[in-house]
Amino acid sequence: MGNFATGANQAQKSIPHPADPPAAPIAAPSATIDEPHVVFDQVTMQFGSRRVFEGLSCVFPRGRISVILGGSGSGKSTILRLIGGLICPGAGSILVDGQNVTLLSERKLYEVRRKLGMLFQGGALLDSYTVFDNLALPLREQNNKSPAEIANEVHAGLKAVAVADADGLFPRELSGGMLRRVALARAMIRKPSILLCDEPFSGLDPVSIKRIEALLTGINRQSGMTLILVSHHIPSTMRMADRILLLMDKRTLTGSPDELRQSTDPQVAEFLNEGLE
């Protein structure tokens, strides 16, 4: 589903979490742009014998667009899964709005997930549901909205991504670009404070890439929502990112697009140049 609070129901059952630590507010009342919104502190992650991270520390600032770059298998999508509490690290802490998601019970973790929207690679829409019902499902699960309210929010969401006439179509009837825009509308339907995007440009033609890029940038600039993207698409990254986290050779580099362009590290230059070809 397009929201972690919905989409994580199946995955969260296998993740052990201890009793709740002392409660902390999900969102700080005096939250301001650029303060830490998501923080990784000395995070170690391992799948079997394969070590993905060793002491990963990084900050994703509030209200900014952060893009995670790196080669295949570098752990980009793993970072998104860790933020949502879908998997637990071997060591370290992960703070979302000041709450350490590695220490939360299922109930408290669900509250945090309600603050997260997720745009999955490929869209992940339900094939047997119309576009309208794909967007309406997360709202119906809230049990506090009338059918008229749900319809209004669904149509407003579709209009915002320029697919207002697609509400009666099924996912199989959509073009790749339309499907990704519908998936974005579903990820936004519950008004998350953090939007996580896994390869939002993969498989799209250049026109659709520019359209999704403009939509994501507009969402951030107009609402102040924090966006954290995993991407292989270097041109879009360099145009839209405020901060870049580059994962390579068991090390990480962070900086603005200009800072990475000016890096004297030959591996950084090679990675960026190859992505622009």
pTM for this structure? Answer: 0.85
| Closest by CA position to 126, among listed 82, 84, 172 | 172
User: How would DSSP label each residue in 18-29?
Assistant: -S--S---SS-T
Structure tokens that stand for 244 in this block: 């870049």
In angstroms, what CA-CA distances link 78 with 67, 84, 97? 14, 10, 19
Give the span between the Cα atoms of 158 and 66, in whole angstroms.
25
* Cβ contacts of 21 within 8 Å, gap of 6 or more: 100, 103, 104
Give the span between the Cα atoms of 231 and 196, in whole angstroms.
11
In angstroms, what CA-CA distances link 60 with 20, 136, 218? 24, 30, 19
Domains of the chain with bracketed CATH: 4-13+33-126+193-276 (3.40.50.300)
- Each residue of 195-237: pLDDT tens digit? 999 999 988 899 999 999 999 999 999 999 999 999 989 999 9
Q: How would you classify the pairing of strands 251-255 and 243-248?
A: antiparallel
The whole-number pLDDT of residue 3 equals: 59
- Each residue of 34-90: pLDDT tens digit? 899 999 999 999 888 888 888 999 999 999 999 999 988 888 999 999 999 999 999
For the chain, first and last CA: distance in Å? 34
**106 by DSSP, 3-state: which?**
helix
Q: What percent of the chain is modeled with pLDDT above 70?
A: 88
Q: Are 200 and 216 in contact (CB under 8 A)?
A: yes
* Cβ contacts of 206 within 8 Å, gap of 6 or more: none
H or E element: which one contains 220? helix 206-223
CA dihedral angle for residue 251, residue 228, residue 120, residue 17, rounded to 10 degrees? 80
Of the pLDDT bands very low, low, confident and very high (cuts 50, 70, 90), residue 134 is: very high
On the question of pLDDT at 155 being above 90, the answer is: yes
State the amino acid at position 5 in one-letter form: A
